[in-house]
Amino acid sequence: MARTGGRELKRVVYTREQIRERVEEMGREIAEAYPADEPLLILGLLKGSFIFLADLVREIARPVQVDFLIASSYGSGTVSSGEVTLLYDTGADFEGRHVLLVEDIIDSGTTLARLVPRLEARKPKSLELVTLLHKRIATLPREARWVGFDAPREFLIGYGLDHSEDYRNLPFIASL
């Protein structure tokens, strides 16, 4: 309860161990999916993906480069506003490179619907999505190739996921 400031959680949805095991599996799958002699740029969507991305890249046994984007569609609410603001865009050259976009959770799909066409316009050799959680409620321009868990339709926090910038440091994922 110390990490939540005394706030009661509805329930723990995914434990630290469940997350660790799934991230290890995903890292192996991703390493096997790309030619070892071709560059792989892993692009994290901040802020939510930072913990997942850090754990994931350590499980990808091949050379990678890492960069970030910062996009927001939530503000302080628990439902997407529908407006996507790109607060930071990478200067990385995508042309001819494999690009793997790392998302913490696919919920409304609003952020990906706006970002994927922008990223495709930069002419990567390939563009794939990996997400830790997928609520399966969105119609996406491109479906995630790797999904950690199919998530319940609840507002989730922990392991990078926040509510108004709180709870990212929980080592598990819980329903608020």
Q: What is the extent of the structural domain holding 158?
A: 2-72+85-175
Between the alpha carbon of residue 10 and those of residues 31, 89, 162, the distances in Å are 36, 35, 15
Q: Is residue 109 part of a domain?
A: yes
107 is catalytic: yes
Residue closest to 11 by CA, chosen among 162, 169, 107, 152: 152
Residue 175 CB burial class (10 angstroms; 0-12, 13-18, ≥19): middle
At 22, which CATH number? Answer: 3.40.50.2020
pLDDT in tens, the chain (176 residues): 556 666 778 899 999 999 999 999 999 999 999 998 998 999 999 888 999 999 999 999 999 999 998 876 655 554 555 566 666 567 778 888 999 999 999 988 888 888 888 899 899 999 999 999 999 998 887 899 999 999 999 999 999 999 889 999 999 999 98
Catalytic residue among 55, 104, 107, 162: 107
- For residues 73 and 108, is the Cβ–Cβ distance under 8 A? yes
Partners of 150 in beta bridges: 134
Burial of 58 from C-beta contacts in 10 A (0-12 / 13-18 / 19+): exposed
State whether residue 51 is helix, strand or coil: helix
Output the six-digit token pair for 54: 């850090």
Q: Tally the domains of the chain.
A: 1
pLDDT for 167 equals 93
Cis upstream peptide for 47 (omega within 30°): yes
